[in-house]
Structure formats: C-alpha cells, structure tokens
C-alpha cells in the first residue's frame, strides 16, 4: 500500500514538474520568417522617449541621458535590480545583437541565451508595441555612444532569483496580445492608448499589484504604493484627474507642472525627462486617452498623504 502511495506521489510530482517545465519555457518569436524592415530613426527616437529607456539605462550621476551604460538600481519588494548596459558597445552592451534578439528581449522578455528577463524590465507593457516600432527603436539605439563596462549582478533572493520561475509569472500576467485599435474612437485617441499602454508603461507604476507582483486588472491606473519604497503613486483615472483638462495633462507631460502651479516630484520626474522630449501631438494624444479613463477607486493611501 505504502509503495503504491509513493508511486502515485512520484507520478504526481513528475506530472507537476512536467507542467512546470512546459509552462515556464521561454517563448520567442521566430526570426526566420520575419518580414524585412527599413528603419525610421526619427520614429525610433520617439519610441525611445515614450518608453523612458533612459530612466533606467542611462549611467547614473552624469548629465548625458543617451549614455546607456546602465547601473541604475531599481528597488522592488523582491530585491534590487540593476539595469544593464544597452549601449552599442559590442562586448559590454548590445552591439552584437540581431533584430530578432532585440525584439525577443523587448516584446517577450527573453534574452539571446534563451533565459527569461525579470519583469523589472517593463516588457509586460512593451509586449504591446508594434514590431516595426521596436525595430526603429533598435536602429536608433545603435546611433548612440558605445559605453564600456558591465554592471553588477542583481541583488535578489531565493526563489525570485530563479529565472525559470518567471515563465510561470509570465503565464499568469502576460497576455502576449497586440493592442487592438478601437474603431469607435478617433485616431488621436488610439495613438494615445497605444503610447500609454505599450512604450509609455504608465500602468506599471500607477496600478496596484497582487502578492505575486501582477497588476490588479480591475484597478489599472487607480494608484498604488510606490514599489520603490516610500510614498504613493497617485490614481490617474478620472477619479483623481477629473478637474484636469486634456491640455493640463499634455502640459504636465511636457513640463512636470501640475495645474495648481506646483512641480511633480519623485519617480515621475524621471518619466517627465523622457515625455518632455515627445512631439506635442503625441502628448495631446496621450492626454486625450487618459481623460477617457473612467473613474476607478484604487487602494486607500496612508493618512496624511493627499493622493487618492
């Protein structure tokens, strides 16, 4: 009897391991049948600024946001991540990467060696970008200065340091679907929806997450504790921004100025450094889309904070 029970347990364990292995396997796009693409550098620069790549990948404590040698520390409840060198340096950066390597990294969170990236790299949003925009961005990155030097390893404890486990996380929280345009809305609204939900990755900070670190879908954009520690990331649905006009929002993304004349602080200053470089019509598009978000109640911020 005992033998039989252990056999059943063993078979169950093998089955679980099999399912684990299957679900956690890195999935990438096939490179062979990819259509050829003529890169548009100006568009690549727009995607770079919308994506805020410099916020994490520019070398900290130096003025040039185009030196993408990495090294910024990104704190999270799971540990501290260090953004790597994505400059065109052939040895320490991504100078030797192919188009397919880059698409797989940005849109699928998978490295050239076939390993999962940690979602501190916000590919859960970037997955919704268009492949042509990702390739334009890659072409643009290649025009930036090569920076030598690799950054230190991440400081993440067990079991979060096991990259294979991220496959299960992706299965739970990454839908892999492209954004579908909404024909009932204006082209400007659709452009805004695209920029906010793909490269802009606004929801990554402005939404509460569950215990496993996945965004709580019903409270997308409804505010959250700051994942980096102190403070609160405000609700950006109409629950809080009802009084802002679309013009206020576009101006905010350009200058960091709030409608009451104050300047924004915290992590959002890094975001504004990037959005301030975007063309005015893209800022207007993002503002139109944000103004259309219905009011949603988010988690309650701690007392004495004015954010809601």
Give me the residues that bind ligand HEC (CB under 6 A), please.
Answer: 51-53, 55-57, 74, 81, 83-84, 86, 94, 105-106, 111, 117-118, 120-122, 126, 137, 196, 199-202, 204-206, 226, 231, 233-234, 236, 240, 252, 258, 264-268, 271, 275, 286, 290
Least Å from the CB of residue 117 to ligand HEC:
3
Nearer to ligand HEC, 7 or 261 (CB): 261
Quick one: 202 or 215, whose CB is closer to ligand HEC?
A: 202
Q: How far is the CB of 211 from ligand HEC (least distance, A)?
A: 20
Q: Is the dihedral of CA 54, 140, 118, 227 positive or negative?
A: positive
**Among residues 53 and 296, whose Cβ is nearest to ligand HEC?**
53
Of 18 and 77, nearer to ligand HEC (C-beta) is 77
First-last CA distance in the chain: 60
Let me know if 43 is exposed, middle or buried by CB neighbors in 10 A (0-12, 13-18, 19+).
middle
Least Å distance between CB 1 and ligand HEC?
Answer: 47
Count of other CB atoms within 10 angstroms of residue 160: 17
From the CB of 10, what's the least distance to ligand HEC, in Å? 34
Based on CB atoms, which residue is closest to ligand HEC, 13 or 118? 118
The answer to whether the CB of 199 falls within 8 A of the CB of 125 is yes
The b-or-e profile of 218-252 (16+ CB within 10 A means b, else e) is ebbbbbbbebbeeebbbbbbbbbbeebebebbbbb
* Least distance to ligand HEC, CB of residue 6, Å: 38
Give the Cα separation of 164 and 23 in Å (integer).
10
């Amino acid at each position: 009897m005992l033998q039989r029970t252990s056999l059943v347990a063993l078979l169950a364990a093998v089955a679980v391991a099999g399912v684990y292995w299957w679900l956690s396997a890195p999935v990438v796009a096939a490179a062979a049948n990819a259509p050829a693409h003529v890169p548009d550098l100006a568009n690549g620069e727009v995607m770079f600024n919308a994506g805020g790549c410099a916020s994490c990948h520019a070398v900290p404590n130096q003025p040039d946001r185009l030196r993408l040698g990495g090294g910024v520390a990104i704190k999270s409840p799971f540990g501290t991540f260090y953004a790597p060198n994505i400059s065109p340096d052939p040895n320490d950066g991504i100078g030797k990467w192919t188009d397919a390597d880059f698409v797989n990294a940005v849109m699928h969170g998978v490295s050239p060696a076939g390993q999962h990236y940690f979602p501190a790299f916000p590919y859960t949003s970037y997955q919704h970008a268009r492949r042509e925009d990702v390739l334009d961005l890659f072409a643009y990155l290649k025009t930036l200065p090569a920076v030598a030097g690799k950054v230190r390893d991440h400081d993440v404890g067990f079991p979060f340091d096991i990259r294979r486990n991220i496959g299960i996380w992706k299965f739970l929280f990454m839908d892999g679907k492209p954004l579908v345009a909404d024909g009932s809305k204006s082209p400007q609204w659709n452009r805004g929806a695209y920029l906010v939900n793909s490269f802009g990755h606004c929801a990554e900070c402005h939404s509460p997450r569950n215990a496993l670190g996945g965004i709580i879908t019903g409270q997308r954009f409804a505010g959250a504790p700051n994942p980096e520690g102190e403070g609160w990331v405000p609700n950006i649905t109409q629950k809080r921004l009802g009084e802002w006009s679309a013009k206020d929002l576009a101006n905010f993304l350009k200058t960091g100025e709030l409608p009451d004349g104050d300047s924004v602080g915290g992590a959002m200053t890094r975001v504004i450094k990037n959005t301030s470089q975007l063309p005015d019509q893209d800022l207007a598009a993002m503002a139109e889309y944000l103004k259309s978000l219905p009011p949603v109640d988010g988690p309650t911020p701690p007392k004495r904070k004015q954010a809601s």
